[in-house]
Amino acid sequence: MIDFLEKWSFFGGSVLLILIGLYGVITRKNLIKIFIGLSLMDTGINVLLVSLGYVEGGIAPIITSTINNNSYNFVDPIPQALVLTSIVIGVAVLALGLGVIIKIYEKYNTLDISEIRGLRW
Amino acid sequence: MSLFYYTFIPIVIAFIAYFLNKKIKLSLAILNSVVFAYLFYQISRLYNQWNIPHETISYYMFDREIQLIFQLTPLSWLFIFMTTGAGLLIAIFTIKSQQEYVLRSSFHLNFAILIGSILGVVLAGDFLTLFIFWEIMTWSSFFLISSGEKKAAQKASYRYIILSTIGAYLMVTALFIIYNQIHTFGYNQVAAHLSGLPITESIILIIMLAIPFIIKAGVFPFHVWVNGAHSNAPKEFSPFLSGLMLKVGIYGVILLLYFVPLYNILKESVNYRGLPIFNYILAIFGCITVITGTILAIRQEDVKRLVAFSSISQMGYIIMALAISTPLGFTGGLLHLMNHMIFKTTIFLSIAAVIYRTKTTKMSEMGGLIFKMPVTFTAYLIAIIALAGIPPTNGFISKWVIYQALIDKGYIFLSVAAFFGSIGSFMYVFKPLSTIFLGQLKPEHENIKEVPFLMQLPMFVLMALILLFGILPGLQMNLINQISQLLNIQPVGFTLYSITGAFGKWNSLVIFSLFVGGFLLAFIIFISAKKSKQVGLMDTYTSGEYMDDPEAYHYAYQYFRPFDRVFDSFAARSLTVIYDTFAQNIVKLGNLFRKSIVTGNGQTYAFYMVLFIVILAFAGWII
Amino acid sequence: MVNLILIIALPLLAAFLIPLFNYINKKLPSIVVFLTTAINLLIIILNYNQIILEPVIIELGNWQAPFAINIYVGTLELISITVISIISLIIAFYNLNHSNFSSESKFHTLYSIIIAGIYGIVMTGDIFNLFVFIEITTVAAYGLTTFNKDKGYEAAIKYIIIGSISSVFLLMAIGFTYSAVGSLNMAVIAAASNLINPGLVRIISLLFFVGIAFEAGILPLSIWVPDVHSIAPSAVSSTLSGLVFLAGITALIKIFFNLFADPSLYVFLMIIGAISLIIGELIAYQQDDIKRMLAYSSIAQMSLVLTIISVGTKYAISGGLFQLFNHAILKTLLFLTAGLMIKYAGSRNISDFGGIAKKIPLIAVGFSVGSLGILGVPFFNGFVSKIMIVNGSLNAGEYILTFLVLFATVIEMAYYLKVIQTIFFGKISINPHKIVKSYVPIIVLITVVFLLGIYPELITKPLNQATGELLSRSDYISNVLGGM
Amino acid sequence: MILNIFGFLLMAFSAMALGLLFIGIARKVVARVQKRIGPPFYQAYLDVFKLFTKNSITHGFIFDFGAIMAFGGMITTLFFVPVGPFVLYGMNGTLLLVIYLMAVAYLGMAMATVGSGNPLASVGISRALTQMLGYELPFIVVLLTLIYSSNTSSIIGIVQTQQSGFMNWNLINIPIGTAIAFVTLLGLMGKKPFDAPIAPSEIASGPVVEHGGKYLAFIMLQHAVSVVVKTALFVDLFLGGGNNIFIFIVKMLIVWLLVTLIGSIFPRFKVEEGVLFYWRWPLIAALLQAVIIIF
């Protein structure tokens, strides 16, 4: 039972994070809040990726002079590499998005997404 | 010269000329006339060389080579001859008539492409080649129609192209259903395959194949494009549109009815008086076309619209005659096809000449032009005599043969419709005659002159043809019998000036000589009486009133009002309205989507994503 | 043989060097971009004959296939990158004269990045790498969208929100795939896909669909397209519409045919594609803004490609692919000419273009060639692909699909012809806002259109080969993994 | 050849004479019905001669040409209709031809009258053409039935099928058809219930409003010949024709008198009423009859 919870807590937690983020994105009107939601989703998915590569009781996959053969119980290193990349991308997008938000505020004097509707139909 | 080049010479030369036009000041109309004259000469030399080998071009399309076949048969010869002939006459006509027209160069480009593509359609030896050139024909004619000077030209061409495209897509669907079964497009193979299929399947395929042709021919449920296109097209193109383009649709119908012998395929199915029900329905559509075209033509106030509706009704005759599939019907249909091309081109050309001088198409804005434009009037008069089917012109002969064919089989309703159209045609052809050429001359038309000689020339040629074929129908019958042989139809007996019908024999020489006699007698009596004094048109009986305004003294607007009153409710319920409503509903649906989906709110878009994912998940769950 | 990795690396390199060049000469960045795209085309031409014989696999860092990122160039990828290189060269040439933006070097940097990303999406053989390239492309596109100071930010923010959400789902799909297979290499996943629980395969495929289709113009996900395409500069619109969509669809095809060949999913794609097709066409008909109209038309065309390809038979796939490449060429032409017309007339509304053809004939002819090509007039390239699509769908017995496709074309015809009629036969109502001249790109594109229309075997022969490769997954797997 | 030309002239002139006689008789009969004395039966001859000697005015060449065309067309028609034993050219298939040949005369007359420039004439022509569409349809249906049942479209052929006696006349064979044909004959002749085109009290005699002098004479001659042609046609088709010219003329006269008598007692239809009248009962009855006979 505990095992089960432990295994699924990462999983469920991360999915929950994503859902919370998604909820934020589709309910909040404020652009900043929407981007907070997007960040939450990003974080959630990163947690999910890391948790997928987790091996119970594993150690960091770093080969040193003492740990130099495959018999050790390594955690899968690839998801961690992926998450690093993903974080970088997420940050880039976030930065760009916030930059755009600043410009939007200058132009429209509002952050309410439902009022920024110059392009429609 | 290879058959292939006939289709490409006009197209290529047109393109080159179009792009050189700016650099070197050349008149595309003259160039086109020269090219068409050359083609016409070459084609006339092809007569009787039916055993020219087929030519093929291979085209790698799916995972195999597809052969595009070109072949020459008497039937295709007839059409290419007519096409280049009409093209030549119209090109000569345009040399002078388009001096002030802005879109000249695009007109001539598209016109040459159109000629080339029609040659391609009729020289094609398989359905894919036919389809390719058919599409080019549709598109070039679309551009020609939309280059009309009126604003309504664009809407009219729009209707034309949408309807044509729907037809073309039906055809291509049917073709590829067949292709996937037999992997070829050849006429003979397709015909053989169609006759081998279960009857319902082959009927559906044939209907899909036939609809584009029927649309192009302007037959009843699809005639809605014809009037708009004809009346709004450039005045020089309307003759070709009516004279030739509609006939290309008929070519397709002939192809399906006789070359792919529909009769044989459907012989075993339900039939009416020995005629397969499909043919009979087609004939009924032809019959409705005749009636609708006639009634609507009588109502028109715009001369080009009037003649356009008359074209619709004449197409009905041809379809009716061809659909009944007897030797006489076939002969009558083809004869009428040729004759209609000749006299309808004449009518439209004479009207183009009138428009060239008066700049209007409303009949009530003209009048009394007979003294100003006698040649144009004569051309119009002779052409309408032919159209109304009055002897001794060619129009009567073909109608006579069609009546013979209809009565022979006892198709009473069809014959009544045919007569209705014929008598109705008196009414509608007389209306322009009376309101444009006769009656009071408008003061603003006081200084009008006859059109230049280059515009008269085509009219003279066509007038001569009307009379020539009226007296010597054997010239046409010779070719028609060769076509009949090709299509395994029993030829109709004929000599140079007589045709044998089902109930009698037509002898044009006798009739012509009696005509001359009758007229001579009348003329002698007339001459021998006292010479009369010429007075002006305003010098007439006015019940004692003093009239000084020729405008008010010209009976032109709503010429047949009592008759129109009978059909007012009929005309209000037009098919055009139904089609338009359908199209508008689709547009409304689109607007609904647009207003409700594309709200411009980024959040809504995000919500769509979530919704989409949820739906996907549910759907994935279900399967 | 030149290493194909160069065609991704060169634009990336150029992107980072452009700011430096900008110091030397303001004109230099555009020339650099032009040169890199030209070199890319040269590289592809040099390698063409070899790749057409057998697929080329490049393993980065000389690691064996399952362990390192690899680049796989089969026939499909080859045709894609050929088309991409030609079009990007043409757009780069166009930019030589027309990129008078205040921040020119930034524009060219982003443009180079987007080109690199597109090549990467098409060629990569690794699903995470695919994600990275998609993100590179989209981030660059976000940036390019904001070049319009008027409404660019608004379009960009919508684009970013939707892009971020779908990237989350793409990552989720990658994560699940990795946890199920234990590798990110496409070939390995393909080899193992039969062993995974089919339910999971379905979930993963659909997540992938959500992640990628957002860049491929399928409607509920690509609802940002009209905003972005209509706002971005013409060169960017044509890149996004012609090339990014092409790359997106190529990626989807790889996912659905190479990675997880689950035929039960194809019916999903077909339904989604068909609905998107009809809605896209219907909305496009309503537009008066010419670029918005073109954008909706792109959506419809991409949906058409997707729905036809998901029929899953050889004829249908090759028809769909041909349409995809045609669309890339034609939409580039359309967006470029539309942009020039907008510049000339000083308005984006179709109704203001009356009689423009008399003033700028070549551009008007270019636009109509593009439209007629999309509508499938004979001797234009679109004709052959339309015929192939009809043949493919009928061959598979999909009569309703054929009907929908042809119905959509009729609607499409309605709105394209409206524009053509206005620009050729409308009443002249133009007072030139700005004189525009651009002959070479338009003439080249028109030539390509007619070349493919008259000699379709230039592309249909390789396409048949590509379709064959797509449909034989085992060949793909063994090609990449060797004898494993 | 000489003989042919002689026969040609003889037939033309005797038809004119006969027609004028008929017109004169009709005027007398109508006068008697209306309790007048009326003009002498030869009044029509006098009128024609008088008109030919008068000065006349013309409104341009179409006015002249139309008159010639009207008269010439009617004369040409005459040659194809057997009057008793006399027929100049009795080739096969003449029935349809005759119907169309009559149109030449109509067209000529219409051109001449509209060419005069008087709107009343145009109104008259418009009415005449409209009405023509009305009566021609049932007439044609009857003719088609006749052609189908006698299996020939030659008038002589149809006459021959009725030769062997009174019981073989089409009057007996297809009585409904004959009745319909008679009703349409009223329209064909422009007689009273259907004389809207020339309605003297409304449009001043319509088409002939501008005709005077020799032009009016021409119109009268044309009318005279047309009376002969139409009655002869009716006799040929329904009343068994006749080898004896006198019996034939008597039959023609009977038909003509019937038409005249009916014409003299009925009021005038409005033009669209006339059309609708023809399309209602005569057309339906004719079609029914056709269906019955053909099937």
**Contact residues on chain C for A14, CB-CB shorter than 8 A:** none
Does C407 or B7 have the greater pLDDT score? C407
Q: What integer pLDDT is reported at residue C114 of this predicted model?
A: 92
| Secondary structure letter of residue B57 according to DSSP | E
Q: In the predicted model, is pLDDT for residue B576 greater than 50?
A: yes
**Contact residues on chain C for B162, CB-CB shorter than 8 A:** 410, 413-414
Q: What are C203-238's pLDDT values in tens digits?
A: 888 889 888 988 888 888 888 888 888 888 888 888
Distance from CA of B585 to the nearest CA of A (A): 18
Is A67 a domain residue?
Answer: no
Q: In the predicted model, is pLDDT for residue B14 greater than 70?
A: yes
Mean pLDDT of all residues in A104-115? 87
Does C112 or B516 have the greater pLDDT score? C112
Q: What is the CATH classification number for the domain harbouring A16?
A: 1.10.287.3510
B598 inside 8 A of chain C by CB: yes
Residue C168 to residue A45, Cβ atoms within 8 A: yes
Does B61 or B245 have the greater pLDDT score? B245
Q: In the predicted model, is pLDDT for residue C371 greater than 90?
A: yes
Mean pLDDT of chain B: 83
Domain count along chain A = 1
Is A6 a domain residue?
Answer: yes
Report angle CA C191, C192, C193 to the nearest 5 degrees: 100
**Please, which pLDDT band fits residue C246 given cuts at 50, 70 and 90?**
very high
Q: Which residue of B has its CA nearest to A38?
A: B606
Q: What are D123-176's pLDDT values in tens digits?
A: 888 888 888 888 888 888 888 888 777 777 777 777 777 777 766 777 667 777
Residue B415: which of D101, D144, D151 has the nearest Cβ? D144
B562 inside 8 A of chain A by CB: no
Distance from CA of C175 to the nearest CA of A (A): 6
Q: What integer pLDDT is reported at residue C484 of this predicted model?
A: 47
Interatomic CA distance for residues C362 and C344, integer angstroms: 13
Mean pLDDT of all residues in D55-75? 82
Q: What integer pLDDT is reported at residue A72 of this predicted model?
A: 65
HSE of D245, CA atoms in CB hemisphere, 13 A: 8
Q: In the predicted model, is pLDDT for residue A67 greater than 70?
A: no
Q: In the predicted model, is pLDDT for residue B427 greater than 90?
A: no
Mean pLDDT of chain C: 86
Mean pLDDT of all residues in B186-203? 83
List the domain range (segments joined by +) for residue A108.
2-59+75-115
Q: What are D224-250's pLDDT values in tens digits?
A: 888 888 888 888 888 777 777 777 888
B585 inside 8 A of chain C by CB: no
**Contact residues on chain B for D284, CB-CB shorter than 8 A:** none
Interatomic CA distance for residues D235 and D229, integer angstroms: 10
Mean pLDDT of chain D: 79
* Residues in D 109-168 with any Cβ partner in B closer than 8 A: 110-111, 114-120, 122-123, 125-127, 129-130, 132-133, 136-137, 140-141, 144-145, 147-148, 151-154
* Lowest pLDDT segment from B51-55, C87-91, C148-152, C171-175: B51-55
Residue B594: which of A25, A116, A121 has the nearest Cβ? A121
H helical segments located in B222-326 = 224-232, 237-240, 246-254, 262-266, 277-299, 303-323
Q: What integer pLDDT is reported at residue C259 of this predicted model?
A: 84
Identify the residue among B290, B387, B409, B563 best suited for mutation to test binding to D, counting D beta carbons within 10 A and taking the highest: B563
Q: What are C337-353's pLDDT values in tens digits?
A: 998 888 888 888 888 88
Mean pLDDT of all residues in A87-115? 89
Q: In the predicted model, is pLDDT for residue B588 greater than 50?
A: yes
Q: In the predicted model, is pLDDT for residue C455 greater than 90?
A: no
Residue B599 to residue A26, Cβ atoms within 8 A: no
Q: What integer pLDDT is reported at residue C86 of this predicted model?
A: 92
Residue D103: which of B388, B522, B535 has the nearest Cβ? B388
Q: What integer pLDDT is reported at residue C249 of this predicted model?
A: 92
**Please, which pLDDT band fits residue C367 given cuts at 50, 70 and 90?**
very high
Q: What integer pLDDT is reported at residue C328 of this predicted model?
A: 92
Q: In the predicted model, is pLDDT for residue B262 greater than 90?
A: no
**Please, which pLDDT band fits residue C85 given cuts at 50, 70 and 90?**
very high
- C-alpha closest to that of C125 among C80, C188, C180, C176: C188
Q: What integer pLDDT is reported at residue C331 of this predicted model?
A: 92
Q: Which residue of B has its CA nearest to C286?
A: B591
Identify the residue among B603, B604, B608, B612 best suited for mutation to test binding to A, counting A beta carbons within 10 A and taking the highest: B603
Residue B60 to residue C203, Cβ atoms within 8 A: no
Is A68 a domain residue?
Answer: no
Mean pLDDT of all residues in D267-291? 79
Distance from CA of C244 to the nearest CA of A (A): 18
Q: What are B289-335's pLDDT values in tens digits?
A: 888 888 888 888 888 888 888 888 888 888 888 888 888 888 888 88
D214 inside 8 A of chain B by CB: yes
- C-alpha closest to that of C265 among C277, C248, C249, C253: C253
B449 inside 8 A of chain A by CB: no
Q: What integer pLDDT is reported at residue D92 of this predicted model?
A: 59
Q: In the predicted model, is pLDDT for residue B411 greater than 60?
A: yes
Residue B423 to residue D133, Cβ atoms within 8 A: yes
Q: What integer pLDDT is reported at residue D57 of this predicted model?
A: 78
Is A86 a domain residue?
Answer: yes
Is A64 a domain residue?
Answer: no
User: Are residues B344 and B311 in contact, defined by beta-carbon separation less than 8 angstroms?
Assistant: yes
* Residues in D 8-27 with any Cβ partner in B closer than 8 A: 8-9, 12
Q: In the predicted model, is pLDDT for residue B421 greater than 90?
A: no
Does B433 or B26 have the greater pLDDT score? B433
Residue B63 to residue C464, Cβ atoms within 8 A: yes
Mean pLDDT of chain A: 82
Q: Which residue of C has its CA nearest to A102?
A: C153
Residue ranges of domains in chain D: 2-21+52-294
Q: What integer pLDDT is reported at residue B187 of this predicted model?
A: 85
Mean pLDDT of all residues in C422-439? 76
B606 inside 8 A of chain C by CB: yes
Distance from CA of B583 to the nearest CA of C (A): 10
**Residues C171, C173, C179, C185, Cα dihedral to 10°:** -80
Q: In the predicted model, is pLDDT for residue B506 greater than 80?
A: no
What would the 3-class secondary structure string for chain C be?
A: CCCCCHHHHHHHHHHHHHHHHHHHCCCHHHHHHHHHHHHHHHHHHHHHHHHHHCCEEEEHHHCCCCCCCEEEECHHHHHHHHHHHHHHHHHHHHHHHHCCCCCHHHHHHHHHHHHHHHHHHHHECEHHHHHHHHHHHHHHHHHHHCCCCCCHHHHHHHHHHHHHHHHHHHHHHHHHHHHHHCCCEHHHHHHHCCCCCHHHHHHHHHHHHHHHHCCCCCCCCCCCHHHHHHHCCHHHHHHHHHHHHHHHHHHHHHHHHHHCCCHHHHHHHHHHHHHHHHHHHHHHHHCCEHHHHHHHHHHHHHHHHHHHHCCCCHHHHHHHHHHHHHHHHHHHHHHHHHHHHHHHHCCCEHHHHCCHHHCCHHHHHHHHHHHHHHHCCCCCHHHHHHHHHHHHHHHCCCHHHHHHHHHHHHHHHHHHHHHHHHHHHCCCCCCCCCCCCCCHHHHHHHHHHHHHHHCCHHHHHHHHHHHHHHHCHHHHHHHHHCCC
Mean pLDDT of all residues in B370-375? 84
